[in-house]
Structure 1
Amino acid sequence: MVYWLFIVGYTYRMWYSITGEVQEKKKGFFVLLVNGLGYKIYTNTNTLGVVDGKTTVYTHIHVREDAFDIFGFLTEETLLLFEMLISVSGVGPKTALGILDLDNVSNLTAIILEKRADILSRASGIGKKTAERIILELHTKMKEFGVVESTGNHDVRNEVEEVLVNLGYIRAVARKTAQEAKGDTIEERLRNALRSIGTNR
């Protein structure tokens, strides 16, 4: 199944979004230039890889005693999931960013709703107990905040990924190939995935 998060307003934001030009990228953040002022925007690795040029980012302001950090994402859905994750006890921004790098928002939502602690625990800094706590706290909350189910093949992709890993392919390659391979059944998608890997060697 594939799930979609719809925005209904999760937390108060001083800055809802910022639009500017990406000036430079560093490890873990990028600089967004707005009217001569460069904003340091922390984000996850997947977002950092694609953000470029003139762009709008949806922001979360994380205030601590010794810091005032801005986290930014390209979609409101990603921001909402980030804010849900950091609302869980023991999950800070760095850990939440690691979870966001596991998959896209739709699939991560499905992983939580389907109670797949084994997948969540693959994120850096996430053990089995933390993964189970995230599922426990967010499972009901996601439904309250408008998760809509639609047809999809998340389970098929996940099964193909696991088969590829068992065949000896590294996790990153297996996940990317399983996501991109076509097919409505595990057999079709696996066949196309193996063909794709063979072609790209």
Structure 2
Amino acid sequence: MIGYLEGQVLDGDSDAILLLAGQVGYEILVSPFTRAQVMAQSKETQVQLHIYYHVTERQPKPVLIGFLEKKDKAFFQLFISVSAIGPMKAVKAMVRPVGEIAAAIEDKQVSLLAKLPGIGPRTAEKVIATLHGKTREFAERAPARAPLSPVSPSPDNPEMVAMVTGVLVNQLGHSSGSAQRMIRAALEKNPGIHTPEALLDAIYQEGA
């Protein structure tokens, strides 16, 4: 069973990356937020991923799901303990930092969790009922522990938001909370934005 891989990213699509490790190319599913962080790095960077190895009778072909931090993998394993959430749904839902999702669980913010892709109000309530009180250690990692705004900056394009968040945080040095505020403000003034490049332009036209 594979638990950890380190190598160079050769390619990436909407929900996976191709990692070259030990002369072998591994296709690894990653969350939209993790993908944005990985793809924001230079191609020469050695990426270190903690791997969740998923295989079942219904899914006999092994699926590798990667996380940049061990704690993110631990949170993911808690997340999929909720009866309505499997590994595939969970990884696609993680469009925001783990610390923010955990904070929403601890603050019982159904409206925010419901806006994660594939979740919805009923599943959000199940997440809180199952995990409330179990995610405090992850929520403490959130840049701002105050309750999060339930407004989703771009429910129709969470991948774009995740990619721009990764650039603002990892390349430009903004905090996660500051990045979310800038993105939200830009999208409120320019709701027709559909690409990461246009969103970044709008943010800096506002003087961010």
Q: Which has the higher strand share?
A: 1
Equivalent residue number for residue 177 of structure 2: 179
Percent identity of paired positions between Structure 1 and Structure 2: 25
Q: Any stretches of 5+ residues in structure 2 without a counterpart?
A: 169-175, 190-202
Equivalent residues in 2 for 1:62-141, closer than 5 Å = 62-65=54-57, 66-101=60-95, 103-141=96-134
TM-score, normalised relative to structure 1:
0.69
Equivalent residue number for residue 17 of structure 1: 4
TM-score, normalised relative to structure 2:
0.67
The whole-number CA distance in structure 2 between the counterparts of 1:122 and 1:75 is 24
Alignment coverage as a number of residue pairs:
169
Conserved? CA contact 1:99–1:120, under 8 Å:
no
Equivalent residues in 2 for 1:24-39, closer than 5 Å = 24-39=11-26
What's the Cα RMSD here? 3.5
The whole-number CA distance in structure 1 between the counterparts of 2:103 and 2:124 is 14
Q: Could you give the per-residue CA deviations for residues 91-121 of structure 1, whole angstroms, max 9, x where no partner exists?
A: 01222123310x2121111100111111000
The whole-number CA distance in structure 1 between the counterparts of 2:56 and 2:92 is 20
Give, in angstroms, the shift of residue 198 of structure 1: 5.6
Q: Any stretches of 5+ residues in structure 1 without a counterpart?
A: 1-13, 184-189
Give, in angstroms, the shift of residue 16 of structure 1: 2.8
User: SS of 2:108's equivalent?
Assistant: coil
The whole-number CA distance in structure 2 between the counterparts of 1:57 and 1:151 is 21
Give, in angstroms, the shift of residue 151 of structure 1: 9.6
Give the number of the structure whose alpha-carbon radius of gyration is greater.
1
Q: Which has the higher contact order (CA 8 A, sep 6+)?
A: 1
Equivalent residue number for residue 50 of structure 2: 58
Q: Could you give the per-residue CA deviations for residues 155-185 of structure 1, whole angstroms, max 9, x where no partner exists?
A: 37x34x74xx7xxx75677x9699326x9xx
1:155 correspondence with 2:166: no
- The letter for the 2-side match of 1:57 is L
Change (3 A) 1:180 1:151: closer
The whole-number CA distance in structure 1 between the counterparts of 2:129 and 2:46 is 39
Conserved? CA contact 1:16–1:58, under 8 Å:
yes
Conserved? CA contact 2:103–2:142, under 8 Å:
no
Runs of 4+ with >4 A deviation: 146-152, 169-173, 175-178
